[in-house]
Amino acid sequence: MNYARFLTAVSAARKPSAIRLLTELQQRSPPSLISLAGGAPNPNTFPFQSASITVRGGDALLLDHTLMKRALQYSGSYGIPELLSWMKDLQKSLHNPPTASFSADRGQMEMCVTTGSQEGLCKIFEMLVSCGDNVLLDAPTYSGTLAALQPLGCNIINVSSDQHGMIPEALQKILEVWDPADERKPRVLYTIPNGGNPTGASMTHERKQKVYELARKYDMLIIEDDPYYFLQFQKPWAPTFLSMDEDGRVLRTDSFSKILSSGLRIGFVTGPKPLVDRVVLHIQASTMHTSTFTQLIVSQLLHNWGQDGFLKHIDSVIEFYRSQRNAMLSSADRWLKDVAEWHPPLAGMFLWVKVKGVKDTQKLIMEKALEKEVLLVPGGVFNINSSDPCPYVRAAFSLSTPQQIDEAFRRLADLIRESV
Ligand SMILES: Cc1ncc(COP(=O)(O)O)c(C=O)c1O
């Protein structure tokens, strides 16, 4: 793969920071190294001494004075080595990416830590999307993606989708009209493959295979934004685009926001090294790196747990969301059957509800729902053009108790009946 052809002028112009390279070097050097390089402050002047964090189950994560000094200091832009290596091992055991055995110049699998997957996405878009480019995605989609993409001045082309995600035949129809020599033909496809935000849709393995084949045929990169991968209610978990990436054309974003903490802001980009390296050049010039402190906490936890402990924790998170989902589905059945339609989500934390007899839910929610003391997201905000009418609302089953969910749907049903 020649990755240079995918890069925007801005990304192509990025150059490594000499100072950041020294930080990476220092990170890998023995403690006997005497460094007069870099401009790191002296952590002995910092007020924080040590920390102990209690983990559910009774274990404690201890940041003694030495580790605390490291936690408070600058670190490398790819992420701290022990977290990166743990994550690389996890990616390999979960996805067995063909790219793991590639040579570096052929698009070998590389990873970097990002401040939430949102940072990764935003930087990936800036790397690949120029003003006037045609970008493919299946809307309605995550509003954070639209917020990152739309200011770049691209033309977003909507690929039809249903509860099983993007429809390959619809994608084929869009792609086949382009002359292969046309510079403006789409080169980037974005999708949320599991428990889509807001639709709750999960893509089948077969659809992913077809979409991957189309990406090969039409020479596109796939951005696999998968923060709900670990919230899949059925096992075995669906194979990912990363797992089928024979060419090195998949950039995957993972997130710990839904499973460890959203506030710690830890996400990961996995993809071909030449592209991940470009994302890191952008990180060098912006945040420099994700907080060393939060990376160390998460890394300690993961090393203490091992992969088995991590996956055991994930199972308990899944159990919670599964029972929340089931509670929401039974409340929907109880109250909304006559006034709305929905598909049970197989992953994630959202139910996407189509309100019958209402063309656009914007007014219903923004003006009338508050009076009834119930709040949902009107579906329009997830459309490419947010002012297009949308009969859907997004209901999250993450935070409310089953009793609250039940009462909320009772109020919503009242509201809908009064409005139609
Ligand atoms: C589809 C999708 N992508 C990315 C994100 C960003 O997640 P974070 O930056 O917390 O990892 C979210 C958050 O809700 C999301 O729903």
Q: How far is the CA of 194 from the centre of ligand 1 (A)?
A: 12
Region 386-408: mean pLDDT is 97
Q: Is the CB of 144 under 6 A from ligand 1?
A: yes
144 and 118 in contact (C-beta within 8 Å)? yes
Neighbours of 338 (CB within 10 A): 9
Q: Looking at ligand 1, which residue's alpha carbon is closest to its atom 5?
A: 118
Which element (helix H / strand E) includes 157? strand 155-158
| pTM across the whole model | 0.96
| CA 267 to ligand 1: nearest atom | 11
Ligand 1 atom at minimum distance from 121 CA: 4
Find where tokens 């039409």 sit.
218
Q: With 80 as the cut, is the pLDDT of residue 376 above it?
A: yes
Query: Does residue 18 have a pLDDT over 90?
Result: no
**From the centroid of its chain, how far is CA 366?**
28
Q: What pLDDT is recorded for position 21?
A: 79
- Ligand 1 pocket, 140 CB below 6 A? no
CA distances from 67 to 33, 224, 300 (A): 18, 35, 11
- Would the CB of 116 count as within 6 Å of ligand 1? yes
What is the number of the ligand 1 atom nearest to the C-alpha of 119? 9
Provide the pLDDT for residue 420. Answer: 82
User: Which range among 93-102, 249-258, 369-378, 405-414 shows the weakest confidence by mean pLDDT?
Assistant: 369-378
**Ligand 1 centre from 254 Cα, in Å?**
9
Q: Kindly give the pairing relationship between strand 350-355 and strand 60-63.
A: unpaired
**pLDDT, position 216:** 97
User: How much is the average pLDDT of 130-155?
Assistant: 97
According to the 3-state scheme, what is the secondary structure of the chain?
A: CCHHHHCCHHHHCCCCCHHHHHHHHHHCCCCCCCCCCCCCCCHHHCCCCCEEEECCCCCEEEECHHHHHHHCCCCCCCCCHHHHHHHHHHHHHHHCCHHHHCCHHHCCEEEEEECHHHHHHHHHHHHHCCCCCEEEECCCCCHHHHHHHHHHCCEEEECCEECCEECHHHHHHHHHCCCCCCCCCCCEEEECCCCCCCCCCCCCHHHHHHHHHHHHHCCCEEEEECCCHHHECCCCCCCCCHHHCCCCCEEEEEECCCCCCCCCCCEEEEEEHHHHHHHHHHHHHCCCCCCHHHHHHHHHHHHHHHHHHHHHHHHHHHHHHHHHHHHHHHHHHHHCCCCEECCCCCECCEEEEEECCCCCHHHHHHHHHCCCCCCCEEHHHHCCCCCCCCCEEEEECCCCCHHHHHHHHHHHHHHHHHHC
Atom of ligand 1 nearest to the CA of 257: 10
348 Cα: distance to centroid of ligand 1 (angstroms): 11
Given CA atoms 377, 378, 379, 383 in this order, what sign does their dihedral have? negative
Distances (CA, A) of 80 to 17, 20, 346: 18, 13, 34
Residue 58: what pLDDT?
Answer: 86
pLDDT at 226: 98
Question: Please, which pLDDT band fits residue 36 given cuts at 50, 70 and 90?
Answer: confident
- C-beta separation of 183 from 226 below 8 A: no
